[in-house]
A = this chain, B = another copy of it.
């Protein structure tokens, strides 16, 4: 999703105001906050000399949580931005950016 509504023409305000879904954005922020707390917890584990395999399992859990946030952002982006760009006839730049981003996940 193009979170930034500045780029939208002001006269299409009503129709395009909710480029991104506010509820989804809040969910994403909440998940990221939980991941942040999880990382802090892992730091405490390391400081407290917890056994490595337990630490590794927590790191794997954070990695899974990050992938789920990425998926949520990607789904919203495809619906909101790519869908809208398609309607407006300027989808090419949008697709190029999407490819570049996905290349970071499929290494």
B56 near A70: Cβ-Cβ < 8 Å: yes
Q: Which of B20, B29, B51, B64 contacts A43 (CB 8 A)?
A: B29
Residues of B within 8 A of A25 (CB): 46-47
1/0 per position for A35-64, CB-CB distance to B under 8 A?
Answer: 110011011001111111111110111111
| Protomer copies | 4
Alpha-carbon distance between A14 and B77 when the two chains are bound, in angstroms: 32
Q: Enumerate A53-103 residues with CB–CB distance to B below 8 Å.
A: 53-57, 59-64, 66-71, 73-79, 81-83, 85-87, 89, 91-92, 95, 97-103
B101 near A56: Cβ-Cβ < 8 Å: yes
Q: Which positions in A face B, CB cutoff 8 Å?
A: 1-6, 20, 25, 28-29, 32-33, 35-36, 39-40, 42-43, 46-57, 59-64, 66-71, 73-79, 81-83, 85-87, 89, 91-92, 95, 97-107
